[in-house]
Structures are given as structure tokens and as C-alpha cells.
Amino acid sequence: MALDPRAQGRVALNRFAFMAHSAAPADVRAALFAELDDPAAGQIEDATLADVGTAFRELVAFRQERKAERMAKAQAGNAMAAAAAPNDMAPAKAVPVPQQIFLREAKARFDAALAAKTGFVERLVWFWSNHFCVSADKGPVRALAGAFEREAIRPHVRGKFFDMLLAVETHPAMLFYLDNAQSMGPHSFAGERRHKGINENLAREIMELHTVGVRSGYSQADVTNFAKVITGWSIVPPRFPQGGVFMFNPRLHEPGAERVLGRSYADEGFAQGRDVLLTLARSPATAQHIAVKLARHFVADEPPQSLVERLAKRFRDSDGDLTEVSRALITSPEAWNAPPSKMRRPAEWLIDSLRALDVNPPDVRPLLGAQNLLGQPLWRPPAPNGFSDDNAAWMDGIAERVDIANQISRRVGARIDPQEVAERALGPLMSEATRQTVARAASRPQAVALLLMAPEFQRR
């Protein structure tokens, strides 16, 4: 049976976007298209946020200061320890520089999601950031993860896939995360002197996760040869004024032509690797891989094959134009007619809750703690394949959602009209059972918590 048009619009809005602050517009497609066409949507303009080079240099300076402090303390010996203030008189420890950078970036990300008109472009940013993920748990990446999303993902989320791919794979955060910064060809100038060789991590994940996919037919030789091609994709050392930004270092680059996926690529320095990326971006296997992931993320764990084929064809026909692919997604009947079966991932549910209640906490740390508790810590995926888009991965976290819903409701529930929020957040999707549950709650905070845990609020 076809959905009621009003309910259908609400399903689509929640499927493609965050919950809005007000009722869904009459023409939901128009609202989604308008945000997709808005050049400011999904962008973060904040002069206080450091670019990747600045963040890296600040990180290095911090580490050097800490090292100097440890050396000074060791030289002072026990005398300094004996003169130290008692524990109850000790000054509070300053937040380390990498954590300061991380917190500023995290607050900017939450603010962008909470302020978005519908949140469709922001949801696209989150999708691509998870597709091309890095982890703040690894080395210097903690200080660079926010800059990575702002610099490599956001500017290209409505552009060409190849441009995003190139920006991602040459970004220092990715080069650190997948160990390419120090990868050197065994016959390169540096490799012959240091007796070191290539690291295949980045090449493997580009092919397996970022482009053609694991079952596309590439071989181990393709991975090895591609890894040779991208030796020299490195980072300016911190001792230089531009330390921390991408550089092609010919001293690390493996000389000679390489054969990847049946095609030979002449040794043209950086251009050799760029050309392989362009071939991968234009592969039909990449179009299919991206189409499956987009349809699974926005529509269903097992998306209709007709939707997948439509997205893949648009990807191929537009040469990877992500705006055109996004338009194909939100105009496909399968995307609108599919039942709301997808469970909101923790970060999405948290943002939806805050948007529904019109709340933006000034301190981002409780929000980060909530994401940690819910199993989706910000910029800390468990592996290079990112957080799962399957419902089963998030079913065990319902109890934690109850805890978070209760915490939110205790803080803001007393000043909120739960029934008004329910109508604004769910509208025609709200079942009679949920309506009565909210109305019969013993208190406003309890009603808010029950609303946030309603089945309609958990799924999209």
C-alpha cells in the first residue's frame, strides 16, 4: 500500500537529512535540492580552526616541549618531586594541545550539524568521511582528523569523485593513518641507503575500500605495483616553514614504469600516482561499489537492485559527479517508497535528539562522551573500513541510548513541551501508541525520554 503523501515526505526528509527544527516543508524534494545547490551547505568557515600544516606544527612543538620537560625533570631527580605540592594542592593539568585542536574541530562539526537547514549535505559529509575514514587513535591523526574532514571531504562533497579521492589520498592525515608518509621504493635514492621498502597499506585500502572494491578482480601484484607508484607521497618535515603539508618526495619514489590493472603507467613522478587514481575513479567497479554503499546508507541494508543500478549508471554517465549522483538518489522512487527500516546510527540519533529539542550544549565534551558510550566515537572508527551501515551493528546499543535519553531529558525536559516536540519531530509518522505514551508520561522529562526512545525516532 502506498504511503500517505505527508508521511512519505516525512520519511524522505528523515531518511536523507537530520530532523528539522520545524515541520517538514510541503515540497520535501525542493528543500533537499535547495540545500544541495547551496554552496555554503556542508562547509565550515571558522578562522580559529587550524589548517593541517598549522595543526601538525603545533603538535610537533607540543611534543618537543613535553620531551624537554621530561628531560628537565629527570635531571632534577628526586629534589623536584620532594618540593612538589601535595596532590590536593596540585594545579589542574592543562588540556594537551592535540586535544585542544580535536575539541575545537569537534565543536565546529556539531555546530554545523545542528545549524543545517535540513542536513542533507551534512549527512553526505558524514557518509564520505566514514567512507574515507582516518582514526584519531593513531599517532598524530588526532590533531589532524578535523582538518582532514574540512579540507579533503567538505569542499568536494558536491564535486567530482576523483577530486575528492585525490584530496583524501594526498592529505597528511591519511598518509599518516595508512603509513604512506615513510613508504619508500626499494630502488629509490632513500631506499637504497636506508635498506627499507614500500608500505602497501594505503594502496591496498584505496583499491579495496575507497574505489573498485574487494571483489573487483585486482591482484596482489596490482596492490604491490600501486604501492610503488605512490612512494614519495609524503609530508614536508616539521623543520620547514610549510611543515606538515603534502609533498611529493622524489628521493622516496620507486623509479620506473609500473603495471596496474592491466595498464602500464610511465614514471612521471607524482603524475604517475594521480593517473592510477583517475583510472580507479572511472572504473565501472568503483561506480558499483559507491552506489551500493550510498543506497545501503540512506535506504536499506539490502537496497533495491534497481536503485543501485540507477546510482551506478549516473555515477558513470556523469564521470563521478557527486551532485548528480545525490540528485539521482533523492529522485528515485525506491528511495521514497522503502519503509523506514534503517536504524539511526548513534551520532545521527544524538544530533536528531538535540535538533528536535532545539538544544546546542556549549561544551562539546559531554557529546563526545555520549558518542563514545554509544559505540561511535568521533573520528575513531575501529578499522579502515569505517563504522558499519548495517542495522545489526547497532542493536546492542539500545540500553546506552536509554541512558543518554534520560540524561538529556533530565537537563532540558522540564522546560520543553513534549507533545509539541513530538509533532514537530515525527508529525504523521508518529503512531497512536507513541502519542499516548508521551501524553501519559508522569513528567515532562519522562515524556521527552520516552519520545527519544520511540520506535519512530530510532529509525528512518
Predicted pLDDT at 23: 45
Q: Which stretch of 23-27, 251-255, 362-366, 446-450 has the lowest confidence by average pLDDT?
A: 23-27
Question: pLDDT band at 83, cuts 50/70/90?
Answer: low
Q: What region does 358 belong to: left with phi over 0, alpha with psi -120 to 50, or beta?
A: left
- Give the separation between CA 394 and CA 342, rounded to whole angstroms: 11
14 confidence band (pLDDT: 50, 70, 90): confident
Q: Is the pLDDT of residue 69 over 60?
A: yes
Residues 6 or more apart whose CB falls under 8 angstroms from that of 288 comprise 213, 308, 312
pLDDT of res. 89: 47
Confidence of residue 279 (pLDDT cuts 50, 70, 90): very high
Q: For residue 364, give Cα distances in angstroms to 106, 257, 267, 327.
A: 7, 49, 47, 33
pLDDT (0 to 100) of residue 27:
73
pLDDT at 142 over 90: yes
Please report the pLDDT score of residue 152 as a whole number: 98
Which of 23-32, 245-254, 390-399 shows the lowest per-residue confidence on average (mean pLDDT)? 23-32
Angle between helices 97-115 and 346-357 in degrees, nearest 10: 60
pLDDT of residue 196: 84
Alpha carbon 442 to its chain centroid, in Å, reads 39
Query: pLDDT of 311-351, one tens digit each?
Result: 999 999 999 999 999 999 999 999 988 888 899 999 999 99
Tell me how far apart the alpha carbons of residues 304 and 112 are, in angstroms, rounded to a whole number.
Answer: 31
Say yes or no to pLDDT of 111 above 80: yes
Q: Is the pLDDT of residue 19 over 80?
A: no
* C-alpha cell at position 142: 588526532
Q: Which three three-digit cell numbers place residue 174?
A: 591519511
Distance CA 33, CA 50 (A): 31
Q: In the 8-state DSSP scheme, what is residue 260? A: E
Using a pLDDT cut of 90, give the percent of the chain over it.
80
- Is pLDDT of 410 > 60? yes
**pLDDT band at residue 74 using 50, 70 and 90 as cut-offs:** confident
Beta pairing, strands 233-235 & 246-248: antiparallel
pLDDT recorded at residue 314? 98
Confidence of residue 15 (pLDDT cuts 50, 70, 90): confident
The residue assigned the cell 543545517 is 116
Does 223 score more than 70 pLDDT?
A: yes
Cell numbers 616539521 label which residue?
238
Residue 44 has φ and ψ, to the nearest 5°, of -120, 110
Average pLDDT for 341-367 = 95
User: pLDDT at position 77, please?
Assistant: 72
Cell of 406: 534520560
Closest CA relative to residue 53, chosen from 112, 140, 168, 165: 140
Q: What is the 3-state secondary structure (H, E, C) of 118-173?
A: CCHHHHHHHHHHHHCCCCCCCCCHHHHHHHHHHHHHHHHCCCEHHHHHHHHHCCHH
Q: Is the predicted pLDDT of residue 95 greater than 70, yes or no?
A: yes
Please give the backbone phi and psi of residue 421, each rounded to the nearest 5 degrees, phi first: -65, -40
Q: Is residue 254 a contact partner of residue 188, using CB atoms and an 8 Å limit?
A: yes
Q: Give the pLDDT band (50/70/90) at residue 180.
A: very high
pLDDT of 3 reads 45
Per-residue pLDDT at 154: 98
Q: How far is CA 161 from CA 127, 139, 287, in A?
A: 13, 28, 10
Q: Which residues contact 193 (CB under 8 A, 6 or more apart)?
A: none
Are 295 and 333 in contact by the 8 Å Cβ rule? The answer is: no
CA 182/CA 43 separation, integer angstroms: 31
Question: If residue 407 lies in a helix (H) or strand (E), which one and from where to where?
Answer: helix 398-412
Q: Which residue has the higher pLDDT, 407 or 427?
A: 407
394 within 8 A of 424, measured Cβ to Cβ: no
Inter-residue contact 253 to 266 (CB < 8 Å): no
121 by Cβ neighbours in 10 Å (0-12 / 13-18 / 19+) ranks as buried
The per-residue DSSP string of 167-210 comes to HHHTSHHHHHHTT-TT---TTSHHHHHHT-----HHHHHIIIII
Sequence-ordered list of residues with C-beta below 8 angstroms from that of 109, at least 6 positions apart, any chain = 44, 146, 149, 378
Reported in sequence order, the residue ranges of 230-303 that DSSP labels E, i.e. its strands, are 233-235, 246-248, 258-260, 263-265
Mean pLDDT, rounded, for 272-299: 98
258-260/246-248 β-pairing: unpaired
The residue behind cell 540500553 is 399
CA nearest neighbour of 180 among 142, 218, 141: 141
